[in-house]
Chains A and B, each alone.
Chain A
Amino acid sequence: MLLHRSEQKNPAFATGSRRWHATVTHIAGLALLSISPGLVISAIVELVGGGDAAGMLAITAVIFAVLGAAMWRGTQLGDLTLRTVFAAVGWSWLLVSVLGALPFVLARTFQREGASRWVELGDAVFESVSGYTCTGSTVLTTLPDLGGDDTQVGRGILFYRQLTQWYGGMGFVQLVITVLPTLGSKAIGFMGAESPGPTADRLSPHAADTAKILWKLYVGGTAAMAVAFTAAGMNWWDAITHSLTTAATGGFSTYNDSIGEFDSLPIEIVAQIAMLFGGTNWALHYLFLTKRRTVHKEDHEFRAYIAMYVAATLAISLILSTGGEVDNFGTALRTASFNVASMASSTGFGNAQGAGSPGDFVLWSATPLVIMLLLMVIGGMSGSTAGGTKVIRTRVLIAISHRTLAVARQPRVIVPVKLGGDVVKERVVHRVSFFMMAYVALVVGGFLLVTALGGELEASLAGVVGSLGNMGPAFGAAGPTATFLDAFPAPARMVLALLMLIGRLELFAVLLMFALPRQVARRAKPHKHTF
């Protein structure tokens, strides 16, 4: 997230502020357009799979294409201040993830007995938002079991559901800017507004090329994961659908029991490595491929991320095996390592074989659950597809605390905030502090709101933290083998969906998105007096 001071003095701002919506419409149109090929593929999958929703998917594809093209062709890129960039990203995401519910609505995917049309509509939006934001919390109860009847939900719809996460993982705005060479230096601002972490990495002198590199890498990584899943024993359908949501660290599965459905150690190991891969800064993967083989080892955030994974895994396996919750250390290690990787990367896959099995962490004792909650708060690395507040922000926060204590002890001392020898710029420090404060406020506020709307205590805490961190499963009645239907009433689910969007765009885009119209209104005021 780059803040160009000079932009605020930009004389174009006054005129540009009137055209902020042109930029927003232009970008959002392109974003809609970028989704329609995915809808077309889903329609074909539905057709081949023998489902009855192919037409609905095709209609949605047309709507996305026509509406997107109209918005895109009908506007020109206007003002590109930092606020506009954030607003464009925010509105694009809102539009795509809400309209993304259309196939579910048209195909009546969430039709349930005793649920009104409004609740059904809400569930469709919840699923779509949870998909695009790579959260992976689900309200879909009709998922098949392996080898069982899979005709309840068409393959095309399932495929589209997996695809939403894949689009959201690397970010469709980042995809859009690869075709917008006119953005120039502003492209990095768009990337910063969408991609996780306090700063965006530049892999090429041209920001648009950086986006292109990352998307190519993302496609390649997804394909590699599909191959690895196949090698570990999945069939091609499972391998493709699961690789889409693993690369995105989303966590949607085509099965109720998620990865636990396969009951296969090789698949769990592949999934674990793939999840951790997705939760790593993808720029590191690129540098690994092109420049140095040691970039991961040299990166302080990666080291902390892996250290966190190892420590949490060991702690939880020890607690589970010594507390008698799991028969032996081997099972405890398998269960703990998978779920820790799933949380640390904010994927949200589970390895439980049905409720009550070792992987069903809602039955664990308090300490391992608190460790899991901490992992949810911290999440993956900056520049990854993962959620959470990011390892780097926790490290910056620790450095800030250290500084505050040092200054209290010795008022004149100057302690720069450093990460592994690199100085963190003061404005990044301020932004991280603000982010963490806003994050805490959102957790508290969200917690209050969700419980007020009828959410149960344990599920609500993990649900709010998990939604903000784009995790997936929560605790209590919303655990890894359950859906969000029992734990949260429909209005509470809408609050969670909003938190997912705020969390995916790391607060700023959503906060600025709503702040903008007021800005414009205030600037427009003097005009009224001239009448």
Chain B
Amino acid sequence: MRVIVVGAGEVGSYVADRLSREGVDVYVVETNAKRAAHLAETADLEVITGSGTHPSTLAAAGLEEADLLVAVTKSDEVNLIASMIAKEAKVPRTIVRIEAPELRGLDAHSAALRRASGADLFIDPDEETAQEVLSLIEMPGASEVVKLAHGEVMAIGARVPIDAPIVNKSLIEIGVENEPEWDFIVSTIRRGDETIIPRGDVTIEANDLVRVVCKRSARRKVAKLLGLARDVPREILLLGGGRTSALIADKLRHTGARVQLIERDPERARKLAERLDGVRVLNGDITDSDVLDDADLSRIELVAALTGEDDANVLASVYAKAAGVPETIAVVHRLNFLSLLDQVGVDAALSPRTATANGVLRFVRGDVAQVATFLQGEVEMLEFELHSGSTAEDQSIADLHLPRDVLITAIVRDGRAQIARGRTVLRKGDHVIVVAEPGSVDTVARVLG
């Protein structure tokens, strides 16, 4: 498979690197020679220096043979044009990153423009990150929240505390307690550096990172089982005034929450204050404790650190935690120290890269409706739609004989979610939510696709 990635920024480099590790032939197009050289040195892929809007540059990247073009520069215009060129060259699929809300609108003109670009998927990493943070705010204590099948199914990940009701129970015991109708299922357990897709005899221990897949209606119950039962925070402090932060603040201010936001650049802070009615915007450096104290940390129930600087985000989160803020969320861009974060006081970490990677993987994996990946652990969560003529049609799950590192967790039939059991029979049109190790994804795709 051949993939062209236009733009070697944070998102582009991550996607390119991830795909190349999976054996995909990756060609990256980047205008900035320095950045191009850096990526070429650190990743196993080919970098072409030039503009993604020039057909010749794209041709040099092997446009004719490409299966997928991913245009993820910071410029909407470049991304749209790259996609148009790719479509002219009969590239089967393109993914385009668009940030301007004017271009993402539902009106006829922007819809026509998007159609003209021919792109199969539009992504906005900032918007996805904002959605992730909002989901985490709704589920305080969780370190990951993923919504699948239009939100009918949720995957909630959390490091379980010692007093959580689920601790020291085997999955069989938990299953028996919840008979006859299960509304959740433990999909993965991460203990130390190892992630497993557990069988019934596995016992959950304190401090495990447990991912539970559940019906949306059961999310409160799951939160309780995972020891997360807390009130949704009403006093929220957002650190950094970037686009993600502004999107979050804009959503939160309509929920009745009291939102404060700290931005370092006075001009940007002024613009945000003008735009975000009801959000209290402070101007200052988030690594300055005086600035954080000015926001009255003793009253804050959740801090989300969203600046572009990892060190500032982590430092501010640690300070907030020490000042008694119960909940901290941090965006991290470099993933090297990820495993250390929850030890120092960051309750949930997320990266703007994953959203894009998830979008790209949908096409690399074949006809998958949705893919979720996680910062910790290699497992993937995939949503397949069962087409007629599939080998799995009208078969019970037990009869599919899937590999041991694959688990069908939930099925959405006619918009209604149910947790999968061995005896569940799959039907045409079902959306099947599967947890799998990357190595087994192809097998799953063959059976369900």
Contact = CB atoms under 8 A, between A and B. Distances in A.
Interface of A: 410-416, 418, 421, 423
Contacts of A411: 294
A410 B283 CA distance: 11
A412 B291 contact: yes
B24 to A, nearest CB: 47
A410 B294 contact: yes
Contacts of B282: 410, 412-414
Contacts of B269: 414
Contact of B273 (A410, A414, A421): A414
A122 B277 CA distance: 54
Contacts of B273: 414-416
Interface residues of B, number: 16
Interface in B291-307: 291, 294-295
A413 B281 contact: yes
Interface of B: 262, 266, 269-270, 272-274, 277, 280-284, 291, 294-295
Contacts of A418: 274, 277
A411 B295 CA distance: 10
Contacts of A415: 273
A421 B294 contact: no
Contacts, number: 32
Contact of A414 (B277, B281, B291, B295): B281
Most buried by B among A411, A413, A421: A413
A413 B274 contact: no
Contacts of B284: 412
Nearest to A424: B274
A218 B269 CA distance: 43
A312 B230 CA distance: 50
A115 B393 CA distance: 111
A268 to B, nearest CB: 42
B280 A413 contact: yes
B225 to A, nearest CB: 40
B291 A416 contact: no
Nearest to B290: A412
A126 B283 CA distance: 54
B277 A410 contact: no
A410 B280 contact: yes
Most buried by B among A414, A415, A423: A414
A423 B277 CA distance: 11
Contacts of A414: 266, 269-270, 272-273, 281-283
Contacts of B274: 416, 418, 423
A421 B262 CA distance: 21
A15 B272 CA distance: 43
Given A412-B262, A414-B283, 6 more contacts: A412-B284, A413-B283, A413-B294, A414-B273, A415-B273, A416-B270
Nearest to A415: B273
B79 to A, nearest CB: 31
A452 to B, nearest CB: 46
A481 B273 CA distance: 51
B270 A412 contact: no
A412 B277 contact: no
Contacts of A410: 280, 282, 294-295
Contacts of A413: 280-283, 294
17 contacts: A410-B280, A410-B294, A411-B294, A412-B284, A412-B294, A413-B280, A413-B281, A414-B266, A414-B269, A414-B272, A414-B273, A414-B281, A414-B282, A414-B283, A416-B270, A416-B274, A418-B274
A76 B277 CA distance: 50
Closest 10 CB pairs of A and B: A414-B273, A412-B282, A416-B274, A423-B274, A414-B281, A412-B284, A416-B273, A414-B269, A412-B294, A412-B283
A414 B267 CA distance: 10
A414 B291 CA distance: 13
A277 B284 CA distance: 47
